[in-house]
Amino acid sequence: MNIAYQFLLYTHILSAVASIGPFFVLLALIKKMRVAEADAQQAYIHVFSSSVRLVKHAGHVLVASGVLLILNGPWSWKTSWVVMTIIVMFSSIFFLARAFSPTLKGFNEPGANKQALVDKLHRSVWIYIFLLMLMLWFMTMKPNLW
């Protein structure tokens, strides 16, 4: 393995950590959001939004480094684990776009059911963690599915 490929691999792994890690912190934040007063809840919403933004940017690095790893590595685009990772990745992109920002904006609407919104965030975080872990499983285990 040459040094450029090793650097790409390291970048890819680091961006995977940055894409997954914040969601585990958000689980703790959601617990605090359930009982928070309005001012504190707004601060938590800001942290949540910032974390989602970080994850999106880390995802860009993850995708770019993944493409470069496939182009420079021993696998083809038709390898089953690569195809499955791409399918799950596109699913997660659509999910991410719909799961968090609209729900977070709902907290600012008058008369919003904040507990229902917190429940939706909690459920969405777990679904997204599942999607990310599924992609991580494909990338680390590299199963031969066909």
Per-residue pLDDT, 143 = 96
Q: How far apart are the first and last CA of the chain?
A: 27
Looking at residues 15-36, what average pLDDT do you find?
Answer: 93
Looking at residues 42-61, what average pLDDT do you find?
Answer: 93
Q: What is the pTM of this model?
A: 0.89
**What tokens were used for 29?**
């934040």
The predicted-structure confidence for 91-140, as pLDDT tens digits, reads as follows 998 888 888 989 999 998 888 899 999 999 999 999 999 999 999 999 99
Per-residue pLDDT, 94 = 86
Per-residue pLDDT, 144 = 94
Per-residue pLDDT, 1 = 72
Per-residue pLDDT, 79 = 96
Per-residue pLDDT, 81 = 96
Positive/negative CA dihedral, 9, 56, 131, 86: negative
Per-residue pLDDT, 93 = 86
pLDDT score of 83 more than 90 = yes
CA atoms within 13 A on the CB side of 103: 23
For tokens 């393995």, the residue is 1
In the chain, where the domains are located: 3-141
Per-residue pLDDT, 73 = 93
> Exposed/middle/buried for 92, CB within 10 Å: 0-12, 13-18, 19+?
buried
